[in-house]
């Protein structure tokens, strides 16, 4: 190098993501420093070509992973040659961030979702909140961002109708459909307005004023009690219960179970969803709450919006004995020690939780259950849960009289969302799993088998967890 005084060859490091699409929404990616970030005053960010975390764990734990830069002060002569070293401060290498993900389970979930156009699923520990798998499909290859993504690739990702850059587990919010009946049931039990053995007759609809609210089962369920109504997902039963409970109790119970607010997961982005209330409607729509809106809220339609992660948190709180739990992806002391942190009690009556778990088991394991065909047949494994099918379009009176169009006959964007939230094993729960297939159709026939396969894999990979 004598001919190039002051020039040196330095070895640098760049990010590489060996799991590519599979972990894209958990790990995130790195990208160039923006002008606003460069103006923060940190000298390291002003270095040409420097990359920082832009999403996922890369962004959430960017400074932890980055470490601290070193410093070298040199005395130079007029020709640019080094005379002597004045001071040296060695750099501090960034810390590793160990995640709670089970990469084998992550692979299983990714493969299970890849045949769907747009879907998401998450598995968490109901006691510790550790996330064992989190997949939003389709994903993207974070390696595209390492050297700067091309305009062609960027446009392809942004113009894809299946939104591969969106983490649907945390940032996707959807009408929860009948999975919300868990909230309605707990509101009824907690208020004393739901008596387990009382029956409601379902002729296939419920009339309120001059409006008719239909049950999904056109001929009706007949007389059903609570467990039977939950197992068969009888809309009429929950219309009636919602009417008695009222929107205020529904809203308070939903919040108590973790819906309508951020879960606190250690990600840089998360949407809170929406649980409507009287004050919310007046503030946003400038109109009073109507009783009919309470009925459709009771079955998870209308204004209600939740994320798959929130549904998993809701289920965890129901089956862990009624304690708060915060999902997380960074391995903590409790995770490494195998201990269970004590969350705040939600003050549920244990008898109500037992009854609700019985009803959720009936959904899957009794012949009248909507998810009976998706039950786990593997010896030593089991699950319970709740199906959900959320409409994304309004069905007109004329269409009802002529015959409702089958999902497969509709354009993809007009088909129902398929949801299922479940837990396992039934006798000694440890895992909660929520899945959504966008415009997939029936929750019982599309989402429930996905959760079945995931929870089966969880229990086979760790049979002693229960």
CB 349 within 8 A of CB 334: no
Q: Which of 24, 118, 136, 178 is catalytic?
A: 178
Cα gap 233→350, rounded to integer Å: 23
SS3 for 222? Answer: strand
Q: Which of 388, 442, 450 is nearest to 113 (CA)?
A: 450
Other CB atoms within a 10 A radius of the CB of residue 255 amount to 14
* Alpha-carbon gap, residue 384 to 423, rounded angstroms: 6
Mark whether 178 is an active-site residue.
Answer: yes
Using left for φ > 0, alpha for ψ between -120 and 50, and beta otherwise, residue 204 falls in left
d(CA 143, CA 28): 10
Q: What are the backbone angles phi and psi of residue 52, rounded to the nearest 5°? A: -130, 165
Distances (CA, A) of 350 to 316, 332, 342, 427: 14, 29, 17, 15
Cα dist from 106 to 274, 296, 333, 456, whole Å: 29, 35, 22, 14
Q: Provide the annotated active-site residues.
A: 178
């Amino acid at each position: 190098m004598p001919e190039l005084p002051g020039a040196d060859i330095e070895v640098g490091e760049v990010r590489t993501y060996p799991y590519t699409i599979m972990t894209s929404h958990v790990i995130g990616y790195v990208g160039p420093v923006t002008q606003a970030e460069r103006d923060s005053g940190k000298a390291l960010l002003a270095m040409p070509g420097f990359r920082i975390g832009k999403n996922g764990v890369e962004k959430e734990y960017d400074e932890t992973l980055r470490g601290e830069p070193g410093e070298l002060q040199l005395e130079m002569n007029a020709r640019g040659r080094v005379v002597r070293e004045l001071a040296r401060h060695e750099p501090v290498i960034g810390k590793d961030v160990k995640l709670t993900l089970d990469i084998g389970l992550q692979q299983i979930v990714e493969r299970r979702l890849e045949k769907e156009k747009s879907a998401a699923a998450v598995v968490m520990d109901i006691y510790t909140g550790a996330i064992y798998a989190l997949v939003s499909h389709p994903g993207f290859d974070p390696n595209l961002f390492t050297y700067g993504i091309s305009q062609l690739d960027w446009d392809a990702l942004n113009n894809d109708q299946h939104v591969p850059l969106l983490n649907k587990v945390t940032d996707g919010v959807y009408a929860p459909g009948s999975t919300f009946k868990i909230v309605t049931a707990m509101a009824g039990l907690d208020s004393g307005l739901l008596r387990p053995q009382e029956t409601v007759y379902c002729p296939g609809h419920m009339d309120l004023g001059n409006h008719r609210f239909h049950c999904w089962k056109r001929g009706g369920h007949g007389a059903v009690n609570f467990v039977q109504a939950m197992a068969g997902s009888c809309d009429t039963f929950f219309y009636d219960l919602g009417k008695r409970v009222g929107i205020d109790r529904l809203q308070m119970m939903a919040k108590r179970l973790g819906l309508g607010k951020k879960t606190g997961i250690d990600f840089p982005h998360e949407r809170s969803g929406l649980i409507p209330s009287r004050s919310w409607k007046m503030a946003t729509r400038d109109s009073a709450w109507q009783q009919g809106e309470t009925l459709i809220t009771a079955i998870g339609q209308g204004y209600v919006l939740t994320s798959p992660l929130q549904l998993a948190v809701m289920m965890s709180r129901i089956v862990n004995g009624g304690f708060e739990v915060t999902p997380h992806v960074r391995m903590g002391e409790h995770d490494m020690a195998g201990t269970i942190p004590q969350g705040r009690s939600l003050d549920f009556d244990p008898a109500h939780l037992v009854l609700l778990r019985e009803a959720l088991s009936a959904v899957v394991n009794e012949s009248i259950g909507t998810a009976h065909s998706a039950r786990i047949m593997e010896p030593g494994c089991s699950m319970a849960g709740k199906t959900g099918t959320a409409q994304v379009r309004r069905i007109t009176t004329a269409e009802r009289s002529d015959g409702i169009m089958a999902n497969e006959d509709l354009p993809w964007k007009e088909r129902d969302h398929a949801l299922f939230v479940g837990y396992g094993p039934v006798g000694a729960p440890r895992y909660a799993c929520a899945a959504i297939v966008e415009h997939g159709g029936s929750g019982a026939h599309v989402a429930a088998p996905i959760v079945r396969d995931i929870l089966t894999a969880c229990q086979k990979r760790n049979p002693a967890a229960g």
